Amino acid sequence: MHKNNFTLDELDFNILSCLQQDGRMSFTVIAEKLNVSVGTVRTRVNKLVEEGTISIVGRIDAAKVGFHAYAHIAVFVRPATLKEKVAQKIAKFKEVSFLAMTSGDYDLEVDVMCRDNDHLVEFVNEISKIEGVYQTKTTLYFKVYKYAQPDLDLLK
């Protein structure tokens, strides 16, 4: 449940930083690092999860598990009034790892992870069938040098 009325304080940010370093870090270790009780850390983490501020997941190396076609797809939508409907349909595809409405040359930015180039071609063909998709432009990522979460220190 996302209530969006939750204000983060310095302790929350410090807990988030610990979990970004190691998502499996125990509440005991976090409590020791931050000089607070284990109960405080547990309560704060539970609240952060409940509010949707954080979700605890295992991040995989896509290439190591069999996804060998990682790509960026620029989607042009015509008429522009269909952007939201097109985005909602694209969001349902399992291959999509990132989707955003953009300003500039194209309307939607889509990152996908596919098994191989044939799978990528099938995916592009499928989204091209969606009403309102006027054009796509696909860029294949040959090598990813950095894939990271936001650095919370930038907010200080």
**Tens-of-pLDDT digits for all 156 residues of the chain?**
445 567 899 999 999 999 999 999 999 999 999 999 999 999 999 999 999 999 988 888 888 999 999 999 999 999 999 999 999 999 999 999 999 999 989 999 999 999 999 999 999 999 999 999 999 999 999 988 988 888 888 888
Give the three-state DSSP class for 24: coil
- The pLDDT of residue 4 is 55
- Both 23 and 67 in one domain: the answer is no
150 belongs to a structural domain: no
148 belongs to a structural domain: no
Give the three-state DSSP class for 3: coil
Q: How far apart are CA 142 and CA 68, in angstroms?
A: 9
- Both 50 and 91 in one domain: the answer is no
- The pLDDT of residue 5 is 64
- Both 17 and 43 in one domain: the answer is yes
147 belongs to a structural domain: no
123 belongs to a structural domain: yes
* Number of domains making up the chain: 2
- The pLDDT of residue 142 is 93
Domain end among 40, 59, 78: 59
The CATH number of residue 5's host domain is: 1.10.10.10
List C-alpha distances in Å: 95 to 36, 42, 56, 153: 41, 34, 20, 31
- Both 88 and 51 in one domain: the answer is no
- The pLDDT of residue 85 is 98
- The pLDDT of residue 88 is 98
List C-alpha distances in Å: 128 to 12, 32, 112, 146: 43, 53, 14, 29
- The pLDDT of residue 45 is 96
